[in-house]
Amino acid sequence: MVKTNAMRMLDKAKIEYRTKEYEVDENDLSGSHAADMMGVDHGSVFKTLVLKGEKMGYLVCCIPVDAELDLKKTARAAGDKKVEMIHMKDLLAVTGYIRGGCSPIGMKKQFPTFVEESAVLYDEIAISAGLRGQQILISPQTLVTFIRGKFASLTFK
């Protein structure tokens, strides 16, 4: 297993986490595929999305892999009028990560980060380790504290 920047940051902060690897299907980079390959509840696997707000600039949202982001709720949570997803071509330049391997930990800059409030229903959630095929399993509260994020209602219910 490759030690990713996200893992090194957690190690340095002495934060407890586990890792899980899965086989990547280049034709299916979805989080649903990752959840299936790891054999875990889809609700406990979170994808990382990067958006841009009208006033606040870039922000990050972590939501369950099968959920759909509600832009209005997200804008409200961020205290902005309007937010939109950034273009895929801009992801690497903004975050340092590629599609399918974007982690809320260890981006080029620390952006305001929001985690779907349903995360608290789980003892442990999975987020990208910063590399396709690797996930970090961590307590949702520990994650939010470490990234200085907030829990919020971000998805269509």
Dihedral of CA 87/92/94/97: which sign?
A: positive
pLDDT at 29: 62
Is the Cβ–Cβ distance between 154 and 116 less than 8 Å?
yes
> 21, 59, 54: which is closest to 37 by C-alpha?
21
- pTM, 2 dp: 0.94
Q: CB-based contacts of 96: which residues, under 8 Å, 6+ apart?
A: 106, 107, 108
DSSP-assigned beta bridge partners for residue 152: 116
* b/e per residue 79-96 (b: at least 16 CB within 10 A): ebeebeebeeeebeebbe
Give tens-digit pLDDT for 59-113. 999 999 999 999 999 999 999 999 999 999 999 999 999 988 999 999 999 999 9
Whole-number average pLDDT of the chain: 94
